[in-house]
Amino acid sequence: MRIDILTLFPNMFEGVFNESIIKRAIEEKKVEINIINFRDYTKDPHNKVDDTPYGGGAGMVLTCQPIFDCVESIRTENSKVILLTPAGIPYKQKMAYELSNEKHLIIICGHYEGFDERITTICDYEISIGDYVLTGGEIPAMVLVDSITRLLPGVINEESHREDSFKKDVMNDIYLLDYPTYTKPADFRGLKVPEVLISGHHENIRKFRYEESLKRTKERRPDLLEVKK
């Protein structure tokens, strides 16, 4: 997979993409990640990429020209263009799986007060990572890249992400939070590991984990238990 990230602040990505699983995925050529400063594409004589909004209002708005030109210079028939915006659809694990099957993603990081609405005409997705406002799209871009990269074949053990939170209960067409996990010692300051987990009875362990996933989801995210029609 190839991921191109359009941003005004390319240095923000250095630490995140040079550590841990993403770094290894890049080194093993499971994913190619390019950070592109779309200011390099502006035709403004003063190197500007933003301007005041029509109709008045606070802040500056990203202009069409540099972003259009940048996307058009790298887009292929296999590209999917993502605009990160608080007004986008909520990002879910299901979408991470869908995007992990694409060959080329172009992610546009917004900044300042927003972007010219016409930029949405060159995008396939408008995505939000939550109901809050950040200073820019760089951190959401990192979230997308991390959540997608770990799902690519060979990046991590497949069983690891099949047992993630938000795994799908196919039989009931719902998504569940992950079950609680424990490690040694079996008794820490009087806090004991559930007996079933050290019983060695695999079927009982499977049932216990499913029930705990269901219980946790009911308590914390009952919305996930709504069967999608």
Q: Cβ(5)–Cβ(33) under 8 Å?
A: yes
* From-to residues of CATH 1.10.1270.20 in the chain: 163-225
Contacts for 43 with CB less than 8 Å, ≥ 6 apart: 65, 66, 69
pLDDT given at position 161 = 53
Q: What is the pTM of this model?
A: 0.83
pLDDT at residue 227, rounded to an integer: 62
Which fold would CATH assign to domain 163-225? Trp Operon Repressor; Chain A (1.10.1270)
Whole-number pLDDT of residue 126: 97
Tens digits of residue pLDDT in 191-212: 999 999 999 999 999 999 999 9
CA 110 to CA 116: how far, in whole Å?
10
Q: What are the pLDDT digits (tens) for 145-168?
A: 999 999 999 998 766 555 555 566
- Active-site amino acid positions: 86, 113, 150, 164
- Percentage of the chain modeled with pLDDT above 90: 78
Intervals of CATH 3.40.1280.10 along the chain: 2-149
pLDDT on residue 174: 78
* Average confidence (pLDDT) over 206-224: 92
- pLDDT band per the 50, 70, 90 thresholds, residue 171: low
Tell the CATH topology of 2-149: Alpha/beta knot (3.40.1280)
Q: What are 9-49's pLDDT values in tens digits?
A: 999 999 999 999 999 999 999 999 999 999 999 999 999 99
Per the DSSP assignment, residues forming a β-bridge with 6 are 36, 108
